[in-house]
Amino acid sequence: MSSLSSLFLDFRRTASDLPGLFSGNFHVMYLPLLPLFPAEERVCVPGYYSDQTYFCTLRETHTDPLAPYRCKKQLKAGRCMILEINGLGSFVFTNHHRSDLFLNLQRKFPGVTSYVFASDGPGGYFKILKDGRIQRKIASYMWSEGMGSYAETRGAPCTYELDTGHVFKIDPKARHLREMMPDFTKREVLDLFDYYVGLNRFQSANLRRVLVYDLEGVESEK
């Protein structure tokens, strides 16, 4: 299948008018909170260690959807974007280098069940968090923006796995990293997004705002 055909299928599969956000690689955390940072233009999101703290400064606010290529440009610049979707909550998009922000957010909102969805194109990553702790993690090998991550599963099978009857497992006898979990790809990540969020609800008709934040670490503050 050509890359153009694959992209077209991704557009059809998302069944929404925001499919470009899932083209190529993506890293997004979903929190059922709206708004995430009420009336705050500069937010401190502490990490487990002090040098892992992020300072998020509001750069732009949009009430209309941004074209996917403009979103990707913001993420490539090291910023994060929060899409506020009525009836769902907040979707925090980052690039791979900034995705450790998700760890800080899970600690900032410990009483909230949140979800992380990511893909480098062929591989996939999914995590359910509750009270700041991992309930379920499914990850195949990924290589994104010069950084690799290993295949791993943690926690008990989630309701999606129980409902479908397919529990994702690592093959310990695999000879290559990508063969350790070949059945967990971008397609499965989108299936999980559809199951837990609803792709038909993730569309601009329900969009409240798009917030663009500059991200700074502690070192840049000194």
User: In this predicted model, what pLDDT tens digit does every residue of 25-58 receive, in sequence order?
Assistant: 899 999 999 999 887 789 888 877 667 788 999 9
Give the per-residue pLDDT at 37: 87
For residue 146, the 8-state DSSP code is T
Reading the block at residue 219, the tokens are 């070192």
Give the per-residue pLDDT at 24: 82
- Alpha carbon 199 to its chain's center: 14
pTM: 0.85
Helical (H) or strand (E) element with 150:
none
Banded model confidence at residue 100, pLDDT cuts 50, 70, 90: confident
Among residues 184, 197, 212, 221, the alpha carbon closest in space to that of 16 is found at 197
Give the per-residue pLDDT at 120: 85
Banded model confidence at residue 219, pLDDT cuts 50, 70, 90: low
Q: How far apart, in Å, do the first and last CA atoms of the chain sit?
A: 50
Q: Taking residues 143-147, report their average pLDDT.
A: 67
Please report, for the chain, the start and end positions of each structural domain, with discontinuous segments joined by +. 3-37+83-208
Reading the block at residue 87, the tokens are 């009836």
Cis peptide before 35 (omega within 30 of 0): yes
Give the per-residue pLDDT at 30: 96
Reading the block at residue 119, the tokens are 């893909």
Q: Above 70 in pLDDT, residue 220?
A: no
Give the per-residue pLDDT at 10: 46
Distance CA 180, CA 166 (A): 16
* Residue 142 · residue 118 · CB < 8 Å: yes
Reading the block at residue 201, the tokens are 């609800």
Q: What share of the chain is helix, strand, coil (3-state, %, to 5)?
A: 30, 35, 35
**103-113 residue pLDDT tens:** 888 888 888 99
